[in-house]
Chains A and B, each alone.
Chain A
Amino acid sequence: MPITVRIQTNASYSTDPELKTLEPILKTENLWKLYHAGKVEVPALRGVNFDVLPGESVAVMGPSGCGKSSLLYVIGGLAQASRGKVFVDGNDLSNMTDAERTKLRRSKIGFVFQRFNLLPSLTARGNIAIAQYIHGDGFDPHRFEVVTKLLGLEGRLHHRPSEMSGGEQQRVAIARAIINEPKILLADEPTGNLDTKNSEIVLEMLRRLNKDLGQTIVMITHNPEATTYFDRVVHMRDGVIVDGIPAD
């Protein structure tokens, strides 16, 4: 029986006295995720307890295969938890159907991926606008302008992904993720495919989103330097969180 290491996180560790009074916007309780390889159950998450407060930025680190991505997919509602609870903005994802989780994801969660995952047939504008379309509130030109300006994309909006650099593509992906003002931005190694310079640009933009707009961010990374841009760093190993300390 694997041992779950429960680490007190966020409020109790936060250096910000205001955060201590807030309810977590993201919370997991004894979260398990099992994958099936034939008849064998392979646990990716083994009783994870994890809290994130509104406006907090958290970096999740750990070796490959430790369950970081699984954690991100489960808290983002892309995968169903095998056991335990996941609360996003007070909604329990573990009791939701796939359709309900899709609806919640649409309004409360934004994703940024390592491989950018832009739709190749659309321009940068189209890639951002389609998120607004799916969200259902239609095209908001003001919000669009603010976000694209914030991410320095004004001059690249008519370009397709194949015509943009990796850094530009990732900025478009970030714009797409935040265009609908999600409660939580989940980033899966967003600098993994970028060179140092572009990594710094992307990380700086994530920091500005967090500091200037109060965007809650959970980011998975292998890059220790990236953690300096975040309020808190959480380490995972073998499907559990092994610590959670505030970053300097």
Chain B
Amino acid sequence: MMSQFVLRNLFHRPIRTLIGVLAIAVEVALVVLIVGLTSGMLQETAKRIEGIGADVLVQAPSAQVFLGMSGSPMPVKIADRLQEQKYVQSVAPAILQFNTSGGVETVWGIDPVSFRDVSNGFVFHQGRDLEGPDDLLIDDLAAKSKKLKLGDTHNLFNHDWKVVGIIEHGKGGRLFVPIHTLQDLVGARDKATIFLVRCTRPEHTDDVISEIKQLLPNYQVRPIKEFMTLMSSTNIPALETFIHSMIALAVAVGLLVIFLTMYTTVLERTRDIGVLKSLGASKLLIVRALLTETALLCFLGIVAGVGLSYLVRAGFIAAFPTLPILITYGWLIRAGLIALVGAMVGSSYPAWIASRKDAVQALSYD
């Protein structure tokens, strides 16, 4: 009977219910998408780094895990010394430059030969490798996103580049240019941001790391495999705070909408509450009825929110192919629980007010 009562109350005012459901859905979708976007970008970046095929990554002592933010503080000559180490097959220096013009991306300046040695080369959809100083390689997703095709000119760092090849995504960056040209453009001649090291055999990775650490004390030397675990929000400055702030904002919106919805519901149903009291309904029963209604409203909102999240992700992928959104079951459940707790908190005060209403006044309410 209670479930029937709650269900019928829920659908007695369909617009009110719809707004409540939408508020919860937006809350859930916001949480899922914000977390999904940040973790998706981080994971996708890590996968691309891993996809190069190198075994060891060398960075300057003060470098950050977010590669594009690290500048280019290492002399490129270090590559020669690394190459001399036992079990090192090849070394590729790269200069990484963060670009915010026309989108947020990291441009990789590479030496085509050494990069090919380390990575076994690109898979070309169209075109050829870097040869001239103004050549630009772009991966298929970025080409689709930027609507660039072979032979097009693309301006980066106030410099016109010619698209000479479209490559399969997943090898470090999305945009590759000759290292010397990029060094000149950013005023970092003979400097490199990272060194990618390929070992003669993967089993020698630890030995190579030990040797490099002896050679370059204080430098950050880590296996590429470890990079995946480092690319989390906790390792990116302020990202965790940003995520928490956005989740708090989403929860606040959901909580306030549910509070308002249930508060107006209690006002609207004042007479009904009086009737229930006249029938002998306890305070607990009235609170339970309202909280059950909220929980049901929330459940519908969570389902809608999950659907909305996948819908928005599909839209994002269509519009921005390079923006990955990682939706995990863990975060879907967490977002649902966050919404449920927020909704319960939001409706607890109206429910408490309802339970304490004076029966006689409630019955004479117009």
Contacts and interface: CB of A to CB of B under 8 A. Distances in A.
Contact of B8 (A117, A122, A135, A139): A122
Given A113-B363, A117-B271, A117-B274, A102 B5 contact: no
B283 A103 contact: no
A126 B280 contact: no
Interface in B1-24: 1-2, 4-5, 8-9, 11-12
Nearest to A123: B8
The majority secondary structure among interface residues of chain A is helix
B230 interface: no
Interface residues of B, number: 24
Contacts of A122: 4-5, 8
Contact of A121 (B2, B8, B276, B363): B8
A96 interface: no
A6 interface: no
Interface string B331-349: 0000000000000000000
A159 to B, nearest CB: 13
A126 B271 contact: no
A120 B11 CA distance: 11
A25 interface: no
Contacts of B278: 76, 78, 105, 111, 113, 117
Given A126-B4, A133-B2, A176-B279, A119 B272 contact: yes
Contacts of B8: 121-122, 126
Interface in B255-310: 271-272, 274-283, 285
Contacts of A113: 278, 363
Contacts of B2: 133
Contacts of A222: none
Given A79-B360, A129-B1, A99 B282 contact: yes
Given A78-B359, A134-B285, A126 B5 contact: yes
Contacts of A118: 275
A130 B280 contact: no
Interface in A56-113: 73, 76, 78-79, 99, 102-103, 105-107, 109, 111, 113
A131 interface: yes
A73 B360 contact: yes
B275 A102 contact: no
Interface string B311-322: 000000000000
Contacts of B280: 102-103, 105-107, 109, 134-135
B271 to A, nearest CB: 7
A119 B278 CA distance: 12
Nearest to B364: A69
A18 B343 CA distance: 60
Nearest to B1: A133
A78 B363 CA distance: 10
Q: Choose among A76, A78, A99 the residue with the greatest number of B CB atoms under 10 Å from its CB.
A: A78
A43 B19 CA distance: 46
A113 B271 CA distance: 12
A145 to B, nearest CB: 17
Contacts of A109: 280
Nearest to B8: A121
A43 B206 CA distance: 92
B363 A117 contact: yes
B4 A106 contact: no
B1 A139 contact: yes
Contact of A117 (B11, B12, B275, B281): B275
A85 to B, nearest CB: 20
B282 to A, nearest CB: 6
Contacts of B360: 73, 78-79
A67 to B, nearest CB: 13
Interface string A119-160: 111100010011111110001000000000000000000000
Contacts of A120: 12, 272
Contacts of A129: 1
A184 to B, nearest CB: 13
Nearest to A72: B360
Q: Choose among B2, B9, B281, B285 the residue with the greatest number of A CB atoms under 10 Å from its CB.
A: B281
B277 A102 contact: yes
Interface in B34-50: none
Contacts of B275: 117-119
B12 A99 contact: no
A53 B29 CA distance: 64
Contacts of A134: 276, 279-281, 285
A176 B272 CA distance: 14
A131 B278 CA distance: 10
Q: Choose among A79, A133, A139 the residue with the greatest number of B CB atoms under 10 Å from its CB.
A: A133
Interface string B206-238: 000000000000000000000000000000000
29 contacts: A73-B359, A78-B359, A79-B360, A102-B277, A102-B280, A102-B282, A102-B283, A103-B280, A105-B278, A106-B279, A109-B280, A113-B278, A117-B271, A117-B278, A117-B363, A119-B275, A119-B276, A120-B12, A120-B272, A121-B8, A121-B9, A126-B5, A129-B1, A130-B1, A130-B276, A130-B279, A133-B2, A134-B279, A139-B1
Given A102-B281, A109-B280, A122-B5, 18 more contacts: A73-B359, A105-B278, A105-B280, A113-B278, A117-B271, A117-B363, A119-B275, A126-B4, A130-B1, A130-B5, A130-B279, A132-B1, A133-B1, A133-B5, A134-B279, A134-B281, A134-B285, A135-B280
Q: Which 8 A-B pairs have the closest CB atoms?
A: A106-B280, A133-B1, A121-B12, A121-B8, A78-B359, A105-B280, A111-B278, A117-B275
